[in-house]
């Protein structure tokens, strides 16, 4: 086989990508795993928009109305519909800011030799490599913790998080939107906001103009509204539809407008991240808007069409238990963040209900400080100071059996059993002499 025929040399990055993304047009477009929802969203926008344009065209051709005004309404509705669909596809079909994965953990010079409660085994193939679970970095004079991602084998930059649906770490992760079938991150957030705000304006436009059409039909029906509604059923349907949808997209637009003003993400807001401490990213409303809409779009960190060796991009997604002297190390862990399974020989798997949960902040939320008690992690770390308790059944002189499960009793078990055996032998020999 010729060197250029080696299949590992002809793979493109998108073909060996370990995330859950869907690629189209040879890696030029990247979608989330739930890309099918994009068709539903497109239908929910295009169907009423086309119906509205048809209604306006019929009105222009067959009804004696203000033709210039109706043409303006028709053109504006069509432009808003096309613009909204463009923003939808720009949000859904581009890289949201995916961080490149590492094929191995960070270099050993970043590891520490001492053992601390915040360290865990990070790779079954490198059992002596230990890394801190978190690191402190400075952001605008504030200390921010960044966490280690067991799936991508990297320390996430500030505001980055791992999406459990797309299986990627995303820069400035906002949320995963099922309506666009994609993560919302640093590279598509502005398109997402323009999508929902344009959808809100489109709903209001169709709602108001449909009411105008209905009221004009009422005037032609001698002031009978019910008669006008029976003759213009399409306008009634559009009014009801837009009234329902505008509460959803309008509320979403107002909420994200607030997030932009305060420079927050949905992920941070839902976790009350800045309720009790200052937001280090807030630069004021004007500068926050400038950063969101007028700053340069950061380039993608991945060239999904580049040729790579497949072996270099095999990412270790779960931990394979290593057995030493018949015991499993307490430092080995499941990759809970993505619900990866343990090795097939163990036969254990993560429950289905836990696979879509986000454990990014679980450590911070579940730590309970009890005064006077030692942290549980330190007890597990100092395994040589922990003594097992044993439960021993001891026959008493009164014929009753008592148990002792104290840890101190363990050291004298051997001596006690020897003395009991000698005593029984003595009693047996005395009975034989008699």
Q: Quick one: tokens of 184?
A: 């919302």
Contact between 122 and 111 under an 8 Å Cβ cutoff? The reply is no
Cα separation, 201 vs 49, whole angstroms:
12
pLDDT in tens, 389-408: 334 444 444 444 444 444 44
Q: Which of 177, 203, 209, 242 is catalytic?
A: 177
pLDDT for residue 222: 73
Helical axes 189-220 vs 67-92, angle rounded to 10°: 150
The reply to whether the predicted model has a pTM over 0.85 is no
Q: How confident is the model over 49-76, as pLDDT tens digits?
A: 999 999 999 988 887 678 889 999 999 9
Confidence grade of residue 377 (pLDDT, cut at 50, 70, 90): very low
What is the predicted pLDDT for the residue at 253? Answer: 97
Per the prediction, the chain carries an average pLDDT of 75
Predicted local distance difference test score (pLDDT) of residue 216? 87
Please state the rounded mean pLDDT for residues 92-102: 95
177 belongs to the catalytic site: yes
Number of CB atoms found within 10 A of residue 307's CB: 12
Range scoring the smallest mean pLDDT among 107-121, 197-211, 416-430: 107-121
Q: Quick check: 56 and 73 in contact, CB under 8 A?
A: yes
Which pLDDT band, with edges at 50, 70 and 90, does 409 fall under? very low
Count the Cβ atoms, other than its own, within 10 Å of residue 119.
18
- Whether pLDDT at 353 is above 60: no
Which tens digit of pLDDT belongs to each residue from 172-231?
Answer: 999 999 999 999 999 999 999 999 999 999 999 999 999 999 988 887 777 778 888 888
65: left (phi over 0), alpha (psi -120 to 50) or beta: beta
pLDDT at 144 over 80: yes
More confident site: 44 or 324: 44
Does the structure show a pLDDT above 90 at 336?
Answer: no
pLDDT of residue 421: 52
* CA–CA distance, 332 with 322 (Å, rounded to integer): 8
Q: Enumerate residues 6+ apart whose C-beta is below 8 A from 352.
A: none
Give percent above pLDDT 70 in the chain: 63
What was the pLDDT predicted at 197?
Answer: 97
Q: Residues 374-388: what's their mean pLDDT?
A: 36
CA distance linking residue 41 with residue 197, whole number of Å: 15
pLDDT top residue among 214 and 2: 214
The predicted model gives 23-28 an average pLDDT of 92
pLDDT for residue 9: 61
Rounded CA separation 285/287 (Å): 6
Query: Cα Rg for the chain, rounded, in angstroms?
Result: 33
Q: Which of 242-256, 316-330, 405-419 has the lowest mean pLDDT?
A: 316-330
């Amino acid at each position: 086989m010729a060197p250029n025929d080696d299949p590992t040399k002809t793979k493109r990055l998108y073909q060996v990508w370990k995330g859950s993304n869907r690629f189209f047009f040879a890696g030029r477009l990247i979608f989330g795993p739930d890309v099918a929802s994009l068709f539903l969203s497109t239908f929910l926008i295009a169907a009423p928009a086309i119906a509205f344009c048809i209604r306006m065209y019929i009105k222009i051709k067959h009804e004696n109305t203000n033709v210039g005004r109706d043409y303006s309404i028709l053109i504006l509705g069509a432009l808003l519909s096309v613009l909204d669909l463009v923003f939808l596809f720009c949000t859904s079909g581009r890289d949201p800011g995916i961080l490149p994965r590492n094929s191995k953990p960070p270099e050993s010079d970043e590891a520490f030799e001492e053992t601390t409660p915040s360290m865990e085994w990070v790779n079954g193939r490198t059992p002596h490599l230990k890394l801190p679970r978190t690191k402190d970095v400075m952001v605008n004079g504030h200390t921010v913790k960044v966490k280690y991602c067991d799936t991508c084998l990297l320390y996430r930059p500030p505001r980055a998080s791992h999406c459990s649906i797309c299986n990627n770490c995303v820069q400035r992760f906002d949320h995963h939107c099922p309506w666009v079938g994609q993560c919302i991150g640093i590279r598509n957030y502005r398109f997402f906001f323009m999508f929902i705000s344009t959808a809100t304006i489109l709903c209001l436009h169709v709602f108001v103009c449909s009411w105008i059409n209905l009221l004009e039909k009422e005037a032609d029906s001698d002031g009978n509204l019910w008669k006008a509604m029976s003759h213009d059923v399409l306008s009634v349907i559009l009014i009801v539809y837009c009234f329902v949808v505008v509460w959803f997209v309008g509320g979403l637009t107002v909420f994200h407008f607030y997030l932009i003003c305060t420079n927050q993400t949905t992920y941070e807001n839902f976790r009350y991240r800045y309720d009790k401490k200052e937001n280090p990213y807030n630069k004021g409303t004007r500068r926050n808007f400038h950063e969101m809409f007028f700053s340069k779009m950061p380039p993608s960190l991945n060239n999904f069409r580049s040729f790579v060796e497949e072996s270099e991009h095999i990412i270790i997604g779960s931990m394979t238990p290593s057995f030493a002297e018949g015991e499993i190390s307490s430092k080995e862990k499941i990759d809970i963040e993505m619900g990866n399974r343990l090795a097939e020989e163990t036969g254990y798997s993560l429950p289905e209900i836990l696979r879509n949960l986000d454990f990014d902040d679980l450590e911070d939320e579940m730590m309970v400080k009890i005064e006077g008690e030692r942290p549980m992690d330190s007890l597990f770390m100092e395994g040589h100071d922990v003594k097992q308790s044993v439960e021993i059944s001891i026959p008493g002189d009164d014929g009753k059996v008592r148990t002792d499960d104290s840890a101190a009793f363990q050291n004298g078990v051997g001596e006690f059993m020897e003395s009991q055996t000698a005593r029984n032998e003595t009693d047996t020999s005395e009975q034989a002499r008699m």
